[in-house]
Amino acid sequence: MTVGMNRLLVPAISTVVMLLVLVGLGIWQMERLAWKTGLLAAIDHAERAPAVPLGEGDPPAFAKLVATGVFRPGLTGLYGAEVRDTPTGPALGGQLLAVLDRAAGLPLLVDLGWVQTPAPLPAGTVRVEGYARPGDRPGLFAARDDLAKRQFYTLDPAAIGAALGVGQVAPFVLVAMGPPAVPDPARALPRPPNNHLSYAITWFGLAAALVVIFALYLRREWARQAGSGA
């Protein structure tokens, strides 16, 4: 009987450990589901709401805003790399970044939309309507920014502002929205994917399968021990 118990001890401990991990991952995905559902609801609410003038404080993420100011001439950069269809065929480009000086508050990075190459900025006082996008931080495998060409792959306002020689800028980016033009701005607020329910079902399903497999293993071991008289 002791030999039989020893045969069950290691599989039982392994099963419990793996079960805790799988259930924990499932619970984590359910928490992520609640967070993402709230985020998407906030984005839907923001998209239905009218744009409001940007004040001196930091707005909520994805809030629709209107900013007024003057673009610094010649001071632009490109964010990301994306191939789009154009009248002359597929072309590689990126999001045109510009610096907007406002009457009050820090200079603001504005994403004016997709272009093939940096385009001239409008002169004089401009009015830009769009949404607030929080800044990013470079990931482990993120492409490195090309500071000499002002080509950026991480939308980090502080790093981009420093690279452009602006110094301190607002800690978010205003993503311009509007009809097709050059640059080509965003049409709507972004909708991040929400696959957390399917992920949670997968983890909980694996946990249930693990329990069934261990139960079948126990049944086989008990039958074997009963047949051998152990």
Q: What is the pLDDT of residues 39-48, one digit of tens each?
A: 899 888 888 8
The ranges of the chain with pLDDT < 50 are: 3, 230
Q: What's the confidence (pLDDT) of residue 107?
A: 94
Within a domain: residue 76? yes
Are 91 and 168 members of one domain?
yes
Q: Which residues pair with 83 in a beta bridge?
A: 92
Are 91 and 166 members of one domain?
yes
First to last CA, the chain: 6
Are 75 and 147 members of one domain?
yes
- Rounded to whole angstroms, how far apart are CA atoms 49 and 176? 16
Are 105 and 23 members of one domain?
no
Q: What's the confidence (pLDDT) of residue 5?
A: 62
Are 11 and 106 members of one domain?
no
Are 84 and 34 members of one domain?
no
Q: What's the confidence (pLDDT) of residue 2?
A: 52
- Secondary structure of the chain: what % helix, strand, coil (to 5)? 40, 30, 35
Cβ neighbours for 195, distance < 8 A, ≥ 6 positions apart: none
Within a domain: residue 213? yes
Within a domain: residue 74? yes
Q: Which residues pair with 13 in a beta bridge?
A: none
Are 67 and 144 members of one domain?
yes
Query: How many domains, the chain?
Result: 2
- Rounded to whole angstroms, how far apart are CA atoms 30 and 112? 36
Are 133 and 221 members of one domain?
no
Residue-range definition of the domain harbouring residue 210: 2-41+194-228
Q: What's the confidence (pLDDT) of residue 23?
A: 96
Within a domain: residue 26? yes
